[in-house]
């Protein structure tokens, strides 16, 4: 029997030197093996949270990348109407030079540009892509090509090449394309179809862009042309777009087009009520340029002067002089369930309604509308 008072003679037992060292060495190795598994993750967590802290406190741009100067240009270019031209309407072969020049000049330098067009027949689309890709100074046949501009879009009649396109044009050096799709403004949006009381098939073209200069910046551009006859169709079209765009993929969305809708009309109100910001209204007046109205027709003496072409941006868009204040977010009309404003800052820097009349003729019956946004990624997760 061994009780507590009986010393157990362990110490007395001699341990050979080499055994002693081996035993302690093994313990040490085991200890480091265990802790090694923890050290790396701990260092990583410390590093990441430090980075994150710096990011949030100082808004360190290094991690979130540069902001993107995005210029959106929209124009209904008037279809190539050689059969029954309106009074004073010139043929496309004459109109296209100024039409393309306007696009080229207004999307040329310093921007990541996206061009949304309406009423574009396939032959016009090819003319435009060719024209935009011609090297400066070598226009016409035999010009060399940059092959920089490209597009996504389909003809609305058959979903391939027939009928008018609402194409979205961009330079391939500016963006990766994450997604592209077309849907019809009708009860059956997935197939070529005419909706409600519309006179014609109507489509929405959508591209999801990822910036090449800052891959953290991703956004959608929607481009559409509402029916000119159907009052119900225009209302339903607005509602369908709102429903489709809602939480489309978690990225901010822009919407361009010819809506055949004036600011007092119901389809306009459906969009504003859903949080869309009309760039024409959002802009600080000192940063806006050009005409007041967007539709002119071709008869200079009898211009209808209505506002039916728009560029819409996300609900949290700020104007230059009125930046969003902390705590203001809740009052915004945020139709997304996702809080985009936490991840992106979008500031509307410029807005303009450009001229469509030069040298004695209109190159289209609509004026181009342009808006420039500064998009900044404001947070990683």
Task: Give the nearer residue to ligand NAG in terms of CB position, either 72 or 168.
Answer: 168
351 is an interface residue for ligand NAG by CB under 6 A: no
Based on CB atoms, which residue is closest to ligand NAG, 152 or 259?
152
In whole angstroms, the minimum distance from the beta carbon of 129 to ligand NAG comes to: 12
Based on CB atoms, which residue is closest to ligand NAG, 149 or 152?
Answer: 152
Minimum CB distance to ligand NAG smaller for 125 or for 346: 125
135: which DSSP letter?
Answer: P
**Complex with ligand NAG: residue 152 or 268, whichever CB lies closer:** 152
Residue 231: both structure tokens together: 């009052």
In this complex, which beta carbon is closest to ligand NAG, that of residue 152 or of residue 373? 152
Cα separation of 317 and 279, whole Å?
A: 9
Q: In angstroms, give the least distance from the CB of 344 to ligand NAG.
A: 23
Closest CB 232 distance from ligand NAG, rounded Å: 31
Using CB under 6 A as the binding rule, whether residue 152 contacts ligand NAG is answered as yes
DSSP state of 84: S
Residues 347 and 319: their CA atoms lie apart, in Å, by: 6
From the CB of 153, what's the least distance to ligand NAG, in Å? Answer: 8
Name the minimum Å distance from CB 214 to ligand NAG. Answer: 20
The residue among 152 and 295 lying less far from ligand NAG, judged by its C-beta, is 152
The DSSP annotation for 192-245 comes to S---TT-SS--EEEEEEEEESS-TT-EEEEEEEE--SS-HHHHHHHHHHHHHHH
* Minimum distance of ligand NAG from residue 172's CB (angstroms): 9
Contact between 178 and ligand NAG by CB under 6 A: the answer reads no
Pick the binder of ligand NAG from 177, 178, 213, 242 (CB under 6 A): 177
Q: Does position 180 bind ligand NAG by CB under 6 A? A: yes
Structure tokens at 147: 């092959």
Residue 114's closest CA among 220, 213, 244? 220
Ranges assigned E (strand) in the chain: 68-76, 112-118, 149-152, 168-171, 175-184, 203-211, 218-225, 253-258, 277-278, 288-290, 309-313, 318-319, 344-353, 357-358, 361-362, 369-377
Shortest Cβ 73–ligand NAG spacing (Å) = 18
How many binding residues for ligand NAG (CB under 6 A)?
3
**CA nearest to 133, candidates 151, 119, 117, 112:** 151
**Which is nearer to ligand NAG, 154 or 311 (by Cβ)?**
154
Q: Which residue has the closest beta carbon to ligand NAG?
A: 180
**Sheet of 309-313, strand order:** 175-184, 203-211, 218-225, 253-258, 309-313, 277-278
- Cα 286 to Cα 115, 161, 290: the distances in Å are 24, 42, 11
Query: C-beta of 177: minimal distance to ligand NAG in Å?
Result: 4
Q: Which is nearer to ligand NAG, 177 or 354 (CB)?
A: 177
Smallest gap from Cβ 179 to ligand NAG, in A, equals 7
DSSP symbol at 380: -
Shortest CB 161 distance to ligand NAG, Å = 14
Task: Report the residue number, 152 or 254, with the smaller CB distance to ligand NAG.
Answer: 152
Pattern of binders to ligand NAG over 237-276, x per CB under 6 A? ----------------------------------------
* CA–CA distance, 182 with 206 (Å, rounded to integer): 6
* Cα angle for residues 120, 186, 236 (degrees, 5° grid): 100
The number of helices, as runs of H, and strands, as runs of E, in the chain is: 7, 16
Residues that bind ligand NAG (CB under 6 A): 152, 177, 180
């Amino acid at each position: 029997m061994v009780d507590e008072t009986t010393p157990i003679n362990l110490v007395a037992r001699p341990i050979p030197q080499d055994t002693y060292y081996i035993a302690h060495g093994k313990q040490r190795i085991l200890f480091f093996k265990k802790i090694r598994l923890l050290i790396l993750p701990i260092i990583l967590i410390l590093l990441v949270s430090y980075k994150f802290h710096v990011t949030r406190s100082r808004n360190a741009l290094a991690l979130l990348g540069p902001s993107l100067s995005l210029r959106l240009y929209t124009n209904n270019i008037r279809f190539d109407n050689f059969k029954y031209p309106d009074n004073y309407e010139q043929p496309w072969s004459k109109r296209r030079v100024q039409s393309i020049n306007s696009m080229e000049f207004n999307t040329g330098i310093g921007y990541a540009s996206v061009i949304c067009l309406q009423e574009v027949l396939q032959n016009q689309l090819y003319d435009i892509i060719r024209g935009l890709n011609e090297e400066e100074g070598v226009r016409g046949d035999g010009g060399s090509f940059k092959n920089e501009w490209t597009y996504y879009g389909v003809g609305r009649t058959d979903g391939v090449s027939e009928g008018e396109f609402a194409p979205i044009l961009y330079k391939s050096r500016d963006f990766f394309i994450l997604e592209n799709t077309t849907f019809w403004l009708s009860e059956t949006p997935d197939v070529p179809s005419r909706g409600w009381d519309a006179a014609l098939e109507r489509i929405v073209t959508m591209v999801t862009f990822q910036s090449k200069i800052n891959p953290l910046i991703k956004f959608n551009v929607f481009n559409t042309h509402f029916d000119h006859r159907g009052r119900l169709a225009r209302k339903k079209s607005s509602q369908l777009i709102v429903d489709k765009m809602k939480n489309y993929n978690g990225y901010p969305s822009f919407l361009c087009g010819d809506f055949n809708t004036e600011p007092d009309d119901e389809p306009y109100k459906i969009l504003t009520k859903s949080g869309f910001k009309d760039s024409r209204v959002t802009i600080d007046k000192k940063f806006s340029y050009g005409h007041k109205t967007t539709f002119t027709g071709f008869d200079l003496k009898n211009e209808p002067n209505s506002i039916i072409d728009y560029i819409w941006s996300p609900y949290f868009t700020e104007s230059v002089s009125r930046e969003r204040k902390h705590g203001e977010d809740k009052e915004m009309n945020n139709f997304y369930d996702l809080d985009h404003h936490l991840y992106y800052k979008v500031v509307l820097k410029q807005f303009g309604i450009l001229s469509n009349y030069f040298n004695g003729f209109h190159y289209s019956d609509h004026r181009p509308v342009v808006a420039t946004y500064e998009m900044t990624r404001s947070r990683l997760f």
